[in-house]
A and B are shown apart, each in its own frame.
Chain A
Amino acid sequence: MMPKIAEHPFLFTGCWELKEMVGRSARDEQQLLEAIEEIPVDSLFYHTHSFFLRHQYIAGPYPNDFATWAAIQVRDRVLGEKLGILDPYDFESLEALRSEIVNIIDEHLSQLQIIPRVVYGEPFHFMQSRIIEVPTGLEARSLTEFRKILAAVDASAVYYHNFEAIFRLVRRKGDFALWIEEQLDLPELGQKISRIDFYMISLESVRHQIIKLCDEVLEKEARR
């Protein structure tokens, strides 16, 4: 059987993140809580998602900035661990995620006599993302082409088609999985890609896992 050629090609889009300072900072966990309640949703996104765009090679101690700050700068590992396990894929919206983060910090503080604060460490500085979309001009019509381009494209495309697509553009499955399912008629591969836990690994690891899954299908096709 001939490998399927897509009717609509996959257009790889990368992105560049401009980092804008919100002008707000927190020196203790109460200030962190109050700020998280009020910051723009773009700032919440920056500290919980686009983190991956900035740590493509070395995964941080925790997969969001709030957890890392609590654990490293405040030296409150308990809060760091509680926030670190949060998986944004479990939430329908960023507002739902915000609400959960606030609940976790609130509950944590209610059990303490003293509010943990920065002594020697750095305050938490709130930032927000300004994402500039950049069409790469690269397009794939088959799984072979898709795999080849994915292996060489800028890592920001891996980020854009998964994190941005899912959380900001509300394409729940992510662009890769959706296209592979709909255009290449490979629902099993699409499902495997959408099941990758993007949140716990670096962008390069996401890329490698998807390539590996594509290779398995391509090898199977070659053997037929």
Chain B
Amino acid sequence: MSRLDDYREVTPKGTIDFLERLVEQVKGRKILHINSTKVGGGVAEMLSSDLPLLKDLGVDAQWQVISGTEEFFNVTKSFHNALQGQEQHITQQMLQAYLEVNRENARRLSFDADYVVIHDPQPAALIKSRPAQGKWVWRCHIDISRPQWKVWSFLKQFVVNYDAAVFSLPRFAQRLPIPQFLIFPSIDPLSDKNRDLSPQEQSQILSRLNVPTDKPILLQVSRFDRFKDPLGVIQAYQLVKKHHDVQLVLAGGGATDDPEGETILSEVREAARDDPDIHILLLPPDANLEINALQRAATIVLQKSLREGFGLTVAEAMWKGKPVIGGSAGGITAQLVYGVTGFTVNSVEGAAFRIHHLLDNPEVMTKIGENAKEYVRQNFLITRHLGDWLALMSYLGRAS
């Protein structure tokens, strides 16, 4: 039995058989994914899950990672912030550093594949070294609906040379002369981050993390990043704390391509000082079981992002049947159908109000949690994601 068969139990009926039929249209072809980090962050996590299953289906799926200097990752972090709308000062020297690292990687990497998928801005300029064969797709995971113009026009000169672009939401689409497709990202229900945990396993992990379970837990799992608004979460918790004896857990991972995390983390520590009910956990990138246990232990999960690519932590918590309150940003609005599968909010006060509301109405929490799990099953599991990629490969193959 292949690994793929394990998914029959958790996916909608007929899904796996259907994928096995769909793959016949692209069987034996080679797809190469290229991104900037092997660990940490949603992209690396998705690729770690997608590739073995694509291989199981009969696609030759490969993954390569570009290498870069500290200066390069500082530049691409500035790009990331600028593309998400934050004003950044970009110098000519920074652009040159970006191009140079891309040139070096182009010399080092092999692009021998039928389909080459470049993830996010970091390796986007590799397109300048594309060989004659193969279809190239730029997969953008971040919210570029309101980009800082200088950075976007720099990046756009590369993007227009791809055969297609893929975005996580319709509103991220840009004026481009190439086809643009919508593919929602996904979670892997059988990964350590999402699989079922026994009560014993869960309590062992929580005790190792020093998170008590004697009070309802409000949880936000995300990088310590300004766009995730961890300070806003603390403020919302403080408003709720006047009426409900709850605790707050802020669990953040880091990624090798995110040098800004340390600064934000110290601001969060400062805001949380003296409150024994705020737990700040700095987790390593592979702390999947820990995140799983925390999400399962949570009473309410928050993802109060101000800007978001997609916000997969929302789907993770929904899959565990938890009510989620999310910022009205990026893909969070696609996951949280207001009042049906969760709630979106636009302010600290809005978040505090919804936390209050849910704590006072446990039956609403249960119903929202049930809907949330089913909604994820239909729309945000890895099997749907694989199907989208297979369909795109098939479509681009026909177009050629």
Question: Does A152 belong to the interface (CB within 8 Å)?
Answer: yes
Contact residues, B9-27 vs A (CB, 8 A) = 12-15, 17-18, 21-22, 25
Q: Within 8 Å CB of B375, what residues of A?
A: 57-58
Any B CB within 8 A of the CB of A170: no
A191 to B93, CA, bound (A): 71
Give CA–CA (A160, B17) in the complex, Å. 16
Name the interface residues of A1-35: CB closer than 8 Å to any CB of B: 14, 16-21, 23, 25
Whether the Cβ atoms of B171 and A123 lie closer than 8 Å is: yes
User: Contacts A14-B21, A132-B391, A132-B395 given: A20-B182 contact, CB under 8 Å?
Assistant: yes
Cβ of A13 to closest chain B Cβ, rounded Å: 10
Contacts of A56 in B (CB 8 A): 12, 378
Cross-interface CB contact of A19 among B21, B176, B181, B333, cutoff 8 Å:
B181
Assess whether A122 is interfacial by the CB under 8 Å rule.
Answer: yes
Chain A 37-80 per-residue mask, 1 if CB under 8 angstroms from chain B, else 0: 00000000000000000101110000000000000000000000
Question: What chain A residues lie within 8 Å of B379 (beta carbons)?
Answer: 54
Cα separation A25 to B175 with both chains bound (whole Å): 12
CB B123 to nearest CB in A, in angstroms, measures 23
Proximity string of chain B (19-55) to chain A, C-beta cutoff 8 Å, 1 when within and 0 when not: 0011001000000000000000000000000000000
**Interface residue tally on A, bucketed by range:** 20 to 34
Q: Contact: A57 with B378, CB < 8 Å?
A: yes
Tell yes or no: A136 within 8 A of B by CB. Answer: yes
- Binary contact track A163-184/B, C-beta < 8 Å → 1, others 0: 0000000000000000000000
Given A21-B180, A132-B395, A125:B18 Cβ within 8 A:
no
25 A–B contact pairs at CB < 8 A?
A: A14-B21, A16-B22, A16-B390, A16-B391, A18-B391, A18-B392, A20-B179, A20-B180, A20-B182, A21-B180, A23-B175, A54-B379, A58-B340, A58-B374, A58-B375, A120-B346, A125-B171, A132-B394, A134-B18, A134-B22, A136-B18, A136-B21, A137-B21, A153-B14, A154-B12
| Chain A contacts to B: CB under 8 angstroms | 14, 16-21, 23, 25, 54, 56-58, 120, 122-123, 125, 127, 130, 132, 134-137, 152-157
